[in-house]
Structure 1
Amino acid sequence: MTSPRSSSTEVASRVHRVPLIGATAYVILEDEITVIDAGLRGSLPRLHAWITSVGRSPQEVRRFVITHAHPDHIGGAAGADILLHPADRERPLRFNAGTIARRLSRLPATIDVADGDVVPVLGGLRVIHTPGHTPGSVCLYAEREGIVFVGDALWSDDDGALHPPNPYWSEDLPSARRSLDTLAGLRVGTILLAHRPPLERAERALGELAERWH
């Protein structure tokens, strides 16, 4: 049987990519534990099993930082502070409600984050408001580590090419295009996606996408 630990990947110093139900979480192991995105409801036992497998305690989870409030990103968040942009607070009940409301009856209590806020991990994890996929989508930029967590603001194909967010699930593609311009201005080496493997050569990939997507 595959152990929880063997299914994960360390993608940067202290940053681990952990598959959950419906999406990937990124778990940051410092004195406290920070989790970026939380999978669908039912993911929490899997997350806790992984944390235990690396010799830490689930009680050490200080916060979940949620890139956007679709249920495959927030559904598993519980037992710690949940940070979310306020523009997404009502999204699970309003977006595609016929499907999503059955999976997430109500949003858990959250703490607001805004553009420019800094989460005290990885030497300072900066919140970048990147509306488009949802009104409250955020990306999280760790400048010291040269990484950016993008949630579903971007995606990549099997050949490693970077693409705009999925139009079927995204609410405002013109806003998403403007958000790409913001991301393209970052000094970053690796893009950490929610449903795909990490993408290297990030600055080049962002620049190429910005040129293609008009």
Structure 2
Amino acid sequence: MNMKIADGVEMLQLQMNMMGNTSTINPTLLYDENHAVLVDVGMPGELDALKAAVEQAGVPFNRIDGVILTHQDLDHVGGIQDVLQALDKPVEVYAHPEDQPYIEGDKEPIKMTRENVDQLLERLPQEVHEQVKTLFSNLPTAKVTETVYDGEVLPLFGGVQVIYTPGHTPGHISLYHQPSKTLIAGDATVSENGKIIGPNPQATLEMPIALDSEKKFAMLDISKAICYHGGLCESNVNEQFRQRSEN
């Protein structure tokens, strides 16, 4: 089920099945009566579930005219080609320039090089090998139409501030919806049962950089935080980030 965070802010909940492991991921939908923007688009093959989640929020899918990609990882960008084809109209695609060449397919995604996939297959049971090979043999790409930078305020839905939060990937960004004081963290931090627990070491390329990036959140007035992995945090969010920044 979706979760309404504030007027014009909806946390979507999608089931992700990746290499035999099922988990919930949380793209965000920002919208008003005329426009809608998705923040991240889930895995390949999830278009029907994504459409259903958007429409459950009371937003026609064809109202979407923008997609903001927090970074290059497959569970965030995997649905981009399906989304753009389904909309069949000009759609702005926003990303940070550091991750742009990976999203556009000019470079292999850092965590999904051929060597990485071969190493992954060695650790996985035989029954998921074909799924993994299929998944990584034709990675979705999209043209980034708008590059975004740290501190930039996008003129969308009352103001969406870009926070450059590298570490998880070189071009990872988080977003701060100013009117509702909502942080859309992407993978800059994860949560569990409403508790902020920091970047995931297993999925983060540069942990010291990621921890420094997370400290930026302590400088914001955050009412609620949406973590792509872990979902909504709404209890003492400012205090949680302040405490983490002091460690």
The reply to whether TM is greater than 0.5 is: yes
Q: Which amino acid aligns with 1:70?
A: D
Paired residue total: 205
Taking a change above 3 Å as real, the CA distance of residues 87 and 104 of structure 1, as seen in their structure-2 partners, is farther
Q: Which amino acid aligns with 2:75?
A: D
Deviation at 1:96, TM superposition (A): 3.5
Contact 1:26 1:35 in 2 (8 A): yes
Deviation at 1:64, TM superposition (A): 0.8
Kindly provide the CA deviation profile for residues 124-181 of structure 1, in whole angstroms up to 9, marking residues without a partner as x: 00111010111111110122211110001001124x3312211111111121122122
Q: 2:71 aligns with which of 55, 68, 85?
A: 68
Q: 2:218 aligns with which of 177, 184, 188?
A: 184
Deviation at 1:109, TM superposition (A): 1.1
TM-score, with structure 2 as normaliser? 0.76
Deviation at 1:119, TM superposition (A): 2.3
Taking a change above 3 Å as real, the CA distance of residues 162 and 95 of structure 1, as seen in their structure-2 partners, is same
- Return the alpha-carbon distance in structure 1 between the equivalents of residues 8 and 195 of structure 2: 26
What SS is found at the alignment partner of 2:43?
coil
Between stretches 34-43 and 79-88, larger displacement belongs to 79-88
What SS is found at the alignment partner of 2:180?
coil
- Return the alpha-carbon distance in structure 2 between the equivalents of residues 184 and 53 of structure 1: 33
Contact 2:72 2:109 in 1 (8 A): no
Which residue of the partner structure matches residue 46 of structure 1?
49
RMSD: 2.0
What SS is found at the alignment partner of 1:102?
helix
Q: Which amino acid aligns with 2:110?
A: R
- Return the alpha-carbon distance in structure 1 between the equivalents of residues 164 and 240 of structure 2: 20
Kindly provide the CA deviation profile for residues 28-56 of structure 1, in whole angstroms up to 9, marking residues without a partner as x: 22120111111111122222223344554
What SS is found at the alignment partner of 2:169?
coil
Which residue of the partner structure matches residue 201 of structure 2?
167
Deviation at 1:19, TM superposition (A): 1.5
Q: Which amino acid aligns with 1:11?
A: I
Which residue of the partner structure matches residue 109 of structure 2?
93
Q: 2:5 aligns with which of 4, 11, 15?
A: 11
Report matched runs for 1:114-193 at 5 Å: 114-158=149-193, 160-193=194-227
- Return the alpha-carbon distance in structure 1 between the equivalents of residues 160 and 137 of structure 2: 30
Taking a change above 3 Å as real, the CA distance of residues 55 and 185 of structure 1, as seen in their structure-2 partners, is closer
Deviation at 1:106, TM superposition (A): 4.3
Percent identical residues: 26
Which residue of the partner structure matches residue 26 of structure 2?
24
Taking a change above 3 Å as real, the CA distance of residues 123 and 169 of structure 1, as seen in their structure-2 partners, is same
Kindly provide the CA deviation profile for residues 33-85 of structure 1, in whole angstroms up to 9, marking residues without a partner as x: 11111111112222222334455432210111111110101111232322111
Report which of the two structures shows the higher radius of gyration computed on alpha carbons. Answer: 2
Contact 1:41 1:104 in 2 (8 A): no
- Return the alpha-carbon distance in structure 2 between the equivalents of residues 55 and 147 of structure 1: 20
TM-score, with structure 1 as normaliser? 0.87
What SS is found at the alignment partner of 1:188?
coil
Contact 1:130 1:153 in 2 (8 A): yes
Q: Which amino acid aligns with 1:72?
A: D
What SS is found at the alignment partner of 1:64?
strand
Q: Which amino acid aligns with 1:40?
A: M
